[in-house]
Amino acid sequence: MRKLKLQVQLTVDGFISGEKGEMDWMTINWSDDLKSYVDGLLQPVDAILLGRHLAEGFIPHWEAVANDQENPEREAGIKFSETHKIVFSKTLTKSKWENTVVENGDFVEAIKALKQQAGNEMIVYGGGKFVSFLIKEKLIDEMYLFVNPAIIGKGMSIFKEAEARQKLNLLASRQFACGIVVLVYQTG
C-alpha cells in the first residue's frame, strides 16, 4: 500500500498561518542540512496532493521557478513541476496545469483508492482546510511537522477538525542549523 506523508511548516504554537493567511513568521533562509533533508523526503514521492486554494499558488510558483535558469531552487521547481499532482476541489472541474488532474468526487474514497494503486509514496502540502480534513479522516500515514522558531498567538490550525484523540508514534526528530526542528510522526 502506498504511504501518504504530510509535509507542513508550522509555528511553535501549532499554526500554519496567521488568521488572515500571514506566513511572514516562516524561516525563509533554510540551512543546507534542511534543504538536503527535504530533498531526501521528496525522493520516493511520485504524487503530490493539494487542495484547490494552495494549488492555485503552489503550481504556478514552482513552474516559474523551474523555468528560471538563475533560480537557486530550480531543481526543486523541476521536481514539483514534473511530479504528478492531484488537486482536490469541489468547484474546479478540470486542470489548467501540466501533470495535474482534478478530483471532484468523494475525497476519502479517492485517497483510499490512490493508496491501493501501484506507485511510490505520496505527499500532501495542503491547504489548511484540506489537510485538516485528511487528519480528521485519518488518511495521513506520516506527518513531517517542520516547527519554525516563532509564536504568533492566533492563526489557522490543521488540527482543528480532529474530533477524537489520535495516537501518534514519534519516529524521529531533528534540529537544523537554521533553527527549524522536524518532528516525524506515524499515525494510528
pLDDT band, residue 110 (cuts 50/70/90): very high
Give the model confidence (pLDDT) of 62-103 as tens digits. 999 999 999 999 999 999 999 999 999 999 989 999 999 999
C-beta of residue 150 within 8 angstroms of C-beta of residue 11: yes
Residue 47's DSSP bridge partners are 84, 122
Averaged pLDDT of the chain: 95
Q: Which residue ranges form the domains of the chain, and what is each CATH number? A: 4-187 (3.40.430.10)
DSSP string, 39-51: HHHHTTEEEEEEE
C-beta of residue 121 within 8 angstroms of C-beta of residue 2: yes
Pairwise CA distance, residues 154 & 61, whole Å: 27
Sole residue written with cell 526543486: 76
Whole-prediction pTM value?
A: 0.94
Pairwise CA distance, residues 35 & 162, whole Å: 31
Give the model confidence (pLDDT) of 118-176 as tens digits. 999 999 997 889 999 999 999 999 999 999 999 999 999 999 888 888 999 999 999 99
DSSP 3-state assignment of 130? helix
Sole residue written with cell 523551474: 66
CB atoms within 10 A of CB 159: 14
pLDDT band, residue 6 (cuts 50/70/90): very high
The three grid cell numbers given for residue 168, joined into one nine-digit string: 501518534
C-beta of residue 23 within 8 angstroms of C-beta of residue 104: no
C-beta of residue 147 within 8 angstroms of C-beta of residue 182: yes
